[in-house]
Amino acid sequence: MGWEDELFALFDDLEGEAGALYAAEREAEIADRSRAEYQQVTLASRLMASTGTEVTLTVDGIGQLSGTVERVAAAWLLMSSGEHDWVVNLAGVLAVQGASVRSIPEVAWSPLTRLGLGSALRRISESGERCLLHLRDGSRHEGTLRRIGADFCELAEGEERRVVLVAFSALAAAQSRA
């Protein structure tokens, strides 16, 4: 083997080492970028990708709820579970099992999904159906939603129609009673 062949072999070795170093650096950079991008993923975006899926939620003050995710918004989700529908305040969700491994970024959501918890409760109020409000401290109030404010709802409770105001921050979920 002549000196030229040895020189070309050395260049091939150096080029192979440089390629291996570049691939290792690129792999580390991709892993770093993936971790950095994943910090932008929200619970709501994971649940949005789980629409139509059976999940189990652990909700503050309630415990575990299992059902199918029907609709998701930034602050709440609608879940059907047997005979009941649940409007769940995402602020009260402690854990989720069975969610999709994917997420749907909020920029891809319909404008309707940007409606707040008050909008979901207004639909219950407009229907005139009785509902059961589960609070995050474990207490419950059953009655008919009357009016929905900016950060609270008004529930007419019992035979005497006593009015109870419930702050959204205290609400874990509203359960249909139909």
Q: Which pLDDT band, with edges at 50, 70 and 90, does 15 fall under?
A: confident
In tens, the pLDDT along 17-38 reads 777 776 767 776 665 665 667 7
In tens, the pLDDT along 116-167 reads 999 999 999 999 999 999 999 999 999 999 999 999 999 999 888 899 999 9
Q: Which pLDDT band, with edges at 50, 70 and 90, does 106 fall under?
A: confident
**Distance of alpha carbon 142 from alpha carbon 133, whole angstroms:** 6
The rounded percent of the chain whose pLDDT value lies above 90 is 63
As a CATH number, domain 43-176 is 2.30.30.600
Strand order in the sheet with 76-81: 93-97, 54-59, 63-72, 76-81, 84-89, 171-176, 130-135, 140-148, 152-157, 162-167
DSSP 163: E
Retrieve residue 12's tokens. Answer: 């091939």
pTM of the model: 0.78
Q: Which pLDDT band, with edges at 50, 70 and 90, does 39 fall under?
A: confident
